[in-house]
Structure 1
Amino acid sequence: MTLDQDYIDCYSKDFSKRICDNHFTNKKRISGQEIIELSASTQLNLMVIRELFEDWQKQVDSFTQNPYFDYSASMVKEALASFMNVLSRAISIEKSDFEPLLTKAVAKTLHLAIEPVSFMERTLEELTKDPASQIKELKKYIKWHRAAWEPAADDLAADPGNLFWKQKLYEGFEKEVDESMQPVVLLDPFQEILPLDFKRLVTEVSETIVAQVEPEVIEEEKVVSSHYIIEEETKEEIQGNDSSEKEGIETIDPAIVWAKFDTEENPYMKGSIAQLKEGMGINQRIMFTKRLFQGNPDLMEQAIIELDETESFYEAIDLLNHSFVKSLNWDIHSDEVMELLQLIFRKYDSE
């Protein structure tokens, strides 16, 4: 699943214009309390506040870089904290300044709803200065999926140099079963302001969204991998080379796999991608990490980088066979392997 950034940008601007036109009809400014009550989506309102304070923090950071004064002095730090506390209760923004701020917040909220794993991973990676303090602030403003991402954030706060927080992040979202956290449910308040076109929001509609918007299209018990399953007769044809068979590990035959995918009629199979990540959805990323790369996100990232550097489908499959299929003892008939092969096929299907 890939988000359509052009649609998100257009929607965010139109949405923000509607909100602002309504609020500023009889008012010249908007206050902090009015932002908190801006829409029926509490998360969006908090995201606006977060954008406001992040922009403010950048100004403060720039201000405190002045070489003529010691901003690290305890009295200065206390005075500055007191000043910021007072100023935070005096938010007053004109329409021309508020509308672009809201537009950014809408776009980020859409990302959080549709691709929460990548959004939170990127957000946490950006916390380079005093992560513990920043994460404490983050918990105030990002309420969606908190049970899934908070353990990873706490690990990052405790040990910023340890990257295992990423694994905990993936595991947290994999365990999340709260139906109220589904994208369609989360974004329902947006529909009251400006209807969302979910088919335009993502270039490939995720199974989660489709299951709720068009339930009749999806067959039961085939949510994650129904589009990628290779028929049983084809599975029987995929054979490993002689040395692998002697070792008891079957490898992938690129010719057979290419022929199968090349004749596939399913629309999810079509559409070239320049990089494998472009076509990789949240569910796939979690699944690949856990089931193919032993729960190690760094190992998966390295594999994707190496696969993207190959120059042909056959070279990519050769890399899989020699670097991963054997060493990690993959079942090449598994759905997760088939989904990875499909992504590789899409990278080279225009050749």
Structure 2
Amino acid sequence: MEDKYNQLRLERYSKELANLLCDRHFAAHDTINGPQLIGFTPIKQINLFVIKELLLKWHHEMANLRSPYFDYEHEEVKEALLNFMNVLSRKILIKRDAFEPLLQKAIYDTFLLKLAPAATFEEKFLRIQEEITLPKLQENLKYIDLDKALFSGFVGTLSPSNRDRDYILSRFRLYLNANKESIAPLSELVATFNSLLPITEEEICQAAPQAPSLAAYAAKPTPAAPVEEKDVVAPIHMAQREASAPVAAATRPAAVADSNLNERFRAERPTMNEKFSKPVSSSVADSLSNRKIESLKNSISINQRFSFINELFDGDNMTYYHTIQKLDEYNNPDEARHFVLHELSHKYDWSKKQENVSKLIRLIERKFA
């Protein structure tokens, strides 16, 4: 049920909007930090995708710390690295030249989530995983805002034994076809983007005109087979596209060029993810989970922070910050727990969010340990 869309127009629009938003922010700031990142645009999905890409790059950098001269499998080294990663995640500081490409891709991917949900599911849920597990798929739901019920509903149909990428993707396509009515119309998203930079639904959905060369007709007298859905999504590299497009058009068929481009992107992404560091052993995690902390504000990692903001405070980052600040001011653990379990839980209806509430309570217990 993937809709046809004008990829070139979307990439151009994503680049223009990213440039516009960066002009506004960096006219008054030299960098952007974590709190500014959370609400950088009024479109929550863009902000979430920026964070997701940032975390991928962050894990990639941590994986590159591996060295043949030191024992990175030693428990003390693993513990030190985990502490370092948690501290680093709370010290985000990005300059424009590094942030703008992240923002551009997040804008493009936000459109793609509506236009090509199966391709989005493959990239955001399946392609980045070294090993597919149900908890990892559920973890990725934190970075979905548009049509979240659709993605969440599908993940809820899977069992822990579902680990095959192709099988899961084929099931997701069937699930999409059976739940078309639950998907919000593209016009709603376009209206939101229009408040930032004008664009029409017709511009997005109108296929880009193509003029195949004579060589393409000679090489393939019959129409080429459509590209598979899983090849739809690819990272945005405008500079490469603009520099190479004229040469490619003159020397080889457009269909072949697109195919090779997709293959290159598909080859790049798994290579990056294959370099991810191995999960920290349970013994290290258990040791860290029992360690005393000085404050909640400085001990909640960026991943946990976004989970709390999205799941407990309905995406309201200011309410989250004020709440954590108030909890840090308590001098008695019983009073802090009462505030969470009775006042906040009733106010925000946390009856079905026990996992995150339990994590917050555990942090409070570590603060007063």
Q: 1:74 to 1:8 in 2, by over 3 A?
A: same
Q: Deviations over 1:108-167 (max 9, x none)?
A: 111112211222134333134133364344122123233323355463864323743224
Q: What's the % identity of the aligned pairs?
A: 28
Q: 1:178 to 1:70 in 2, by over 3 A?
A: farther
* CA distance in structure 2 between the partners assigned to 1:68 and 1:88 by the alignment: 26
1:67 aligns with 2:73: no
* CA distance in structure 2 between the partners assigned to 1:104 and 1:175 by the alignment: 29
Q: Which residue among 225, 230, 239 is the counterpart of 1:275? A: 225
Residue 192 of structure 2 aligns with an amino acid whose one-letter code is P
* CA distance in structure 2 between the partners assigned to 1:6 and 1:96 by the alignment: 22
2:145 maps to 143
The answer to whether the Cα contact below 8 Å between 2:14 and 2:105 also exists between their aligned partners in 1 is yes
The answer to whether the Cα contact below 8 Å between 1:156 and 1:162 also exists between their aligned partners in 2 is no
**Larger Cα-atom Rg:** 1
Q: Which residue among 29, 32, 42 is the counterpart of 1:30? A: 32
How far 1:104 sits from its partner (Å)?
A: 1.2
* CA distance in structure 2 between the partners assigned to 1:161 and 1:147 by the alignment: 23
Q: Deviations over 1:58-82 (max 9, x none)?
A: 1122223x22223233332222222
* CA distance in structure 2 between the partners assigned to 1:197 and 1:92 by the alignment: 34
Residue 46 of structure 1 aligns with an amino acid whose one-letter code is L
Q: 1:73 to 1:186 in 2, by over 3 A?
A: farther
Q: 1:15 to 1:63 in 2, by over 3 A?
A: same
Aligned length: 214
2:55 maps to 53
1:176 aligns with 2:179: yes
Q: 1:174 to 1:40 in 2, by over 3 A?
A: same
Counterpart of 2:64 in 1: which secondary structure?
A: helix
The root-mean-square deviation of aligned C-alpha atoms, in Å, is 2.9
The answer to whether the Cα contact below 8 Å between 1:152 and 1:165 also exists between their aligned partners in 2 is no
Map 1:7-26; keep pairs closer than 5 Å. Answer: 7-26=9-28
How far 1:199 sits from its partner (Å)?
A: 2.1
Residue 202 of structure 1 aligns with an amino acid whose one-letter code is C
The answer to whether the Cα contact below 8 Å between 1:148 and 1:169 also exists between their aligned partners in 2 is no
Residue 72 of structure 1 aligns with an amino acid whose one-letter code is E
* CA distance in structure 2 between the partners assigned to 1:122 and 1:135 by the alignment: 12
The answer to whether the Cα contact below 8 Å between 1:8 and 1:201 also exists between their aligned partners in 2 is yes
* CA distance in structure 2 between the partners assigned to 1:39 and 1:103 by the alignment: 12
* CA distance in structure 2 between the partners assigned to 1:54 and 1:11 by the alignment: 24
Map 1:100-119; keep pairs closer than 5 Å. Answer: 100-119=101-120
Q: 1:157 to 1:92 in 2, by over 3 A?
A: farther
Higher RCO (CA 8 Å, separation ≥ 6 residues): 2
* CA distance in structure 1 between the partners assigned to 2:121 and 2:76 by the alignment: 36
* CA distance in structure 2 between the partners assigned to 1:166 and 1:277 by the alignment: 16
Q: 1:149 to 1:158 in 2, by over 3 A?
A: farther
Q: Normalization by structure 1: what TM-score? A: 0.54
* CA distance in structure 1 between the partners assigned to 2:94 and 2:147 by the alignment: 30
1:83 aligns with 2:33: no
1:40 maps to 42
Q: 1:273 to 1:94 in 2, by over 3 A?
A: farther
Q: Deviations over 1:32-87 (max 9, x none)?
A: 111111111111111111111111111122223x2222323333222222211111
* CA distance in structure 2 between the partners assigned to 1:58 and 1:277 by the alignment: 30
Q: Structure 1 unaligned runs (5+)?
A: 206-271, 283-351
1:186 maps to 189
* CA distance in structure 1 between the partners assigned to 2:116 and 2:19 by the alignment: 24
Map 1:297-336; keep pairs closer than 5 Å. Answer: none
1:94 maps to 95
Q: 1:144 to 1:70 in 2, by over 3 A?
A: farther
The answer to whether the Cα contact below 8 Å between 2:147 and 2:183 also exists between their aligned partners in 1 is no
The answer to whether the Cα contact below 8 Å between 1:149 and 1:172 also exists between their aligned partners in 2 is no
Following TM superposition, the consecutive aligned residue runs of length 4 or more in structure 1 with deviations greater than 6 angstroms are: none
1:214 maps to none
Residue 116 of structure 1 aligns with an amino acid whose one-letter code is P
The answer to whether the Cα contact below 8 Å between 1:153 and 1:165 also exists between their aligned partners in 2 is no
Counterpart of 1:276 in 2: which secondary structure?
A: coil
Counterpart of 2:195 in 1: which secondary structure?
A: helix
Residue 196 of structure 1 aligns with an amino acid whose one-letter code is I
* CA distance in structure 2 between the partners assigned to 1:187 and 1:158 by the alignment: 38
Q: 1:166 to 1:97 in 2, by over 3 A?
A: closer
Q: Structure 2 unaligned runs (5+)?
A: 209-221, 233-369
Map 1:148-167; keep pairs closer than 5 Å. Answer: 148-150=150-152, 152-153=154-155, 155=158, 158-161=161-164, 163-167=166-170
